[in-house]
Amino acid sequence: MGHTIYLIRHGESQWNLENRFTGWADVPLSASGVHEAKQAGALLQAAGVEFDRVFASVLKRSLQTTYLMLDEMDSLWLPIEKSWCLNERHYGALQGLNKSETAAKYGEEQVKIWRRSYDVLPPLMDAKDPTSARFDRRYQDLSDAQLPLGESLKKTVDRVLPYYAENIWPEVRRGKRVLVSAHGNSLRALVMHLFQMSEASVLELNIPTAVPMKVVLDDSGKGISRDYLGDPEWVKSKVHGVAAQGAVSPGSEKK
């Protein structure tokens, strides 16, 4: 007998719209992202999906998506456990920079390495940067060692997987219907683990915004299958949009 868990990346954020590296910057949903989140809830409701537990990051784009989606499902009463361990990968000094402009300056391949490689760190944020999580009250109980100045996907895996093993998988194994509302890279880390993906194959894994992913696991927690809800061509176009974010914009010149 299999176990089912649903994963969803937040709806389009304002910085997704502006094609900027976001990471731990606490950016709200765009108007389109609000629509996407409601649409995700409608897709789940139409499929007859219900949840018992919800897990989300502490970043507002994840939480706004969660609340809008659950409201659409008439399920705002559900308990939501929030954890920084489900936050997006920290993009260090790249946070706030436009991806296309950065690709024009450093090359598309370098930006792809920063965005999609497994163990390469981005340029690190200055520890004294006023936007550092060290100065954010939501992280006040964490040590400096726990708070990154930049992360590779490997470092993201190192915080996501223990949290999943200790908090989420036990609920799924007990038969609870679970939703994880998080981010592109924290979900990539989880999918990589569940389906035992190689470092090379995860490089090409692009998770679209606000499209519910149904994941079926065996009794040991290993992934059996994963499918997106929604029209396949629509999902394909959204995946392609994520993949294209690091490309040089037409007319850009390398510097």
At 182, the amino acid letter reads: A
Q: Is 139 helix (H, G, I), strand (E, B) or coil?
A: helix
At 253, the amino acid letter reads: E
Q: 154 phi and psi, to 5 degrees? A: -60, -45
Catalytic-labelled residue, pool 12, 72, 88, 151: 88
Neighbours of 120 (CB within 10 A): 13
Is 81 catalytic? The answer is: no
Q: Which of 55, 37, 129 lies closest to 90, judged by CA?
A: 129
- Tokens of residue 34, six digits: 């609000």
What angle (nearest 5°) sits at the alpha carbon of residue 54, between those of residues 62 and 213? 70
Is 36 catalytic? The answer is: no
Q: Which residue has the tokens 């708070």?
A: 147
What span, in angstroms and rounded, lies between the C-alpha atoms of 117 and 153? 7
Catalytic-labelled residue, pool 3, 10, 90, 183: 10
**Which residues participate in catalysis according to the annotation?**
10, 88
